[in-house]
Amino acid sequence: MKKIYIILLLVSFVFPNLTKAQYASKVVRKGKQQAYVDSLKRMNYDRVFPFWGAKAYKKGIDIPYPVGFMANYFYVNQGVTIDNFQLGFDNAHDGIVNFPLTPVSDSILSFGDNRNRSYSFNVRPDLWVFPFIDLYGIFGYGHSETSVEVISPLLPDGSFTSVVDQNITTYGFGVLLAGGLGPVWLSLDANMTWNKPELLDKPTIANVVGIRMGKVFKFKNRPQSNFSFWVGAMYLTMQSETVGQVPLQDAIPQEIWDKKDQWVSDYWDKYNAAPQWQQTLADKFFTPIVNAVDERNGESLVAYKMDKQTKAHWNGLIGAQYQLNKSWQFRVEGGVIGDRKSILLSINYRLLGFKKKTN
């Protein structure tokens, strides 16, 4: 059985999650632990899942209950890069509804320190199909705050930071492969999710792969209870193209609206001092927006299209889990190494599932 586990872990790198499952592991054979192993070997396992579950128990391998329902809270703070930015504008006065998206030259507009802070609550039903393969779905709802530093030689202060807040719905699926290797366990955990912010036209697809290695520490007199600790790494990549629109009142920071007369005046001072080519570009992108700010027309719509990606794809992980019994597990995991910082809190409830039909 160990050889099967190791082979599957090696070939599983071809599969494209964030949360983990309980891992199959051999029980230390001392005292009550020995009695527990003996009971596993004598067990008449009568459940449909996992396939080969009866064989695992006959070998004294303690595997998780196959059906699980996990509730998660997840928070992340990460850098974001923006490329190929396009901008469109509708001043909500002239009846234009299909405003054109036009590429913006880096010479007149660029981006500085951009960050995304998001949190979500999600549920994750899962099923161990085999003792080493877990399939699951992800369904969640959360909130995202993205701050974007806009830099231009024509802006009154040289730059400003725009903050966009929006709710996000998430759905997706994943697969986890796991097994024991000597005194430790190894896992490869991967998912694909569709994340739909309310201000975007289409959901953003995210792919996550997590690699972890850990060890289980068992209680001498409570065979079903244990602590598990692990280290690992996570790789995240997103669908790069983002298309959406936002009201001008949300795109421009409140401090600019509060001092809009001075801000508009400063813009025209810089505009008049700029060379002709910058004025030409400004008339395509900035001037209509500045005029709308001057008119306090916050209902104007700013459309955008960009290639957005996480600043760092990899980050390091550490985590721990307390298993009260085979039905209840509680865990925490932090992304602590790298640009991406995250925290995951989970409660997992598991049950045996369907019985096999008997003739």
Average the pLDDT over 111-131 and give the result.
96
Provide the CA 219 distance to its chain's centre, in angstroms. 34
Specify the DSSP element, H or E, that contains 262.
helix 260-273
Residues making up the chain, counted from first to last: 359
Domain assignment of residue 297, given as a range: 2-351
pLDDT at 244: 84
pLDDT at 246: 86
pLDDT at 11: 34
pLDDT band at 93 (very low <50, low <70, confident <90, very high): low
Average pLDDT, whole number, for the chain? 87
pLDDT band at 321 (very low <50, low <70, confident <90, very high): very high
**Of the candidates 305, 199, 148, the residue with the CA atom closest to the CA atom of residue 242:** 305
Maximum average pLDDT range among 84-93, 146-155, 198-207, 320-329 = 320-329
Maximum average pLDDT range among 150-164, 231-245, 280-294, 308-322 = 308-322
Residue recorded with tokens 């009568």: 46
Give the Cα separation of 87 and 103 in Å (integer).
Answer: 7
205 pLDDT more than 90: yes
pLDDT at 359: 63
For residue 209, give the amino acid letter. V
pLDDT at 288: 87
**Of the candidates 177, 239, 204, 194, the residue with the CA atom closest to the CA atom of residue 14:** 177
pLDDT band at 235 (very low <50, low <70, confident <90, very high): very high
58 is a domain residue: yes
pLDDT at 156: 85
Q: Are strands 328-337 and 241-247 parallel, antiparallel or unpaired?
A: unpaired
Residue recorded with tokens 């001043």: 91
279 is a domain residue: yes
18 pLDDT more than 60: no
pLDDT band at 34 (very low <50, low <70, confident <90, very high): confident
Residue of 93 and 278 predicted with greater confidence: 278
Environment class of residue 47 by beta-carbon count within 10 Å: exposed (0-12), middle (13-18) or buried (19+)? middle
Average the pLDDT over 241-266 and give the result.
90
359 is a domain residue: no
Average the pLDDT over 299-304 and give the result.
86
77 pLDDT more than 70: yes
276 is a domain residue: yes
Provide DSSP, 88-121: EEE-SSS---SPPPEEPPTTT-EE---EEEEEEE
Question: What angle is formed at CA 294 by the lines to CA 83 and CA 262, rounded to 5 degrees?
Answer: 90
358 is a domain residue: no
Number of domains composing the chain: 1
Poorest-pLDDT segment among 49-53, 64-68, 252-256: 252-256
356 is a domain residue: no
Provide DSSP, 153-213: TTSTTSEEEEEEEEEEEEEEEEEEEEEEETTEEEEEEEEEEEEEETTBSSPEEEEEEEEEE
Residue of 97 and 75 predicted with greater confidence: 75
**Of the candidates 247, 258, 234, 239, the residue with the CA atom closest to the CA atom of residue 312:** 234
Q: How many CB atoms lie within 10 A of CB 292?
A: 23
pLDDT at 29: 57
71 is a domain residue: yes
99 pLDDT more than 50: yes
End-to-end CA distance of the chain, in Å? 29
Q: What percent of the chain has pLDDT over 70?
A: 89
CA of 124: how far to CAs of 19, 135, 140, 273, in Å?
9, 10, 9, 58
174 is a domain residue: yes
pLDDT at 151: 94
pLDDT at 27: 40
pLDDT at 251: 87
Give the Cα separation of 250 and 252 in Å (integer).
Answer: 6
